[in-house]
Structure 1
Amino acid sequence: MAVDRLLFPRPETPRVSVERVPVDGTCPECGATSLARYPVANHLGPRMVVKCQRCLYPVAVTRPEPDDHWPAWRSPARDWPASRVG
């Protein structure tokens, strides 16, 4: 696990944004080919989504993988097995 997931300085820009990674495919709703994958804060918890950038149709919603580093504030011990000790 990288240190950058644990220590975060104050943002230097007035607006914080995430990188939207282009994804191959076609939107089933509007037919556009402009799909992107990026992290979101969902009512179900942190998720990675693939959305159409034209109509914002959610093509896929998945749980983040460790390589996604999302959420950035996630506990380093999140994936550890539970202990019965106190």
Structure 2
Amino acid sequence: MGVDRLLFGPPQEPTVSVERISTNQTCPACGSHEVARYPVANFIGPRMVVKCQECFTHLATTVPTADDHWPPWASATSDWPASRNG
């Protein structure tokens, strides 16, 4: 994990958005090739989802890895294993 995850200023743009990365998959519901993977704030914590951008069919939900940099405000120790000492 780099310092860029720990030190960041307020956004300079008027709106905040996330990059939706194309997965080169085909949607099983509508047949569209517009399937993307992107971060979301879920009720069970931060997650990465794969959804069709045409019909919004949900294809997958995964826990973000360190390479995903999601969420940007995550603790520097968020991926450390827990111990019995707290």
TM-score using structure 2 length = 0.90
| Structure 1 residues 26-84: Cα deviation after superposition (integer angstroms, max 9, x where no partner) | 11111111101110001121000111010111111111011101111111111223344
Over aligned residues, Cα RMSD in angstroms? Answer: 1.4
- Residue 9 in 1 paired to residue 9 in 2? yes
| Residue-pair matches, total | 86
Alignment map for 1:34-45 (pairs within 5 Å): 34-45=34-45
Aligned to 1:63: 63
Unpaired segments of 5 or more residues in structure 1? none
Moved over 6 A (4+): none
SS in 1 for 2:4: helix
Unpaired segments of 5 or more residues in structure 2? none
Distance 1:49 1:38 in 2: 6
SS in 2 for 1:46: strand
TM-score using structure 1 length = 0.90
| Structure 1 residues 1-36: Cα deviation after superposition (integer angstroms, max 9, x where no partner) | 111111111111110111111111111111111101
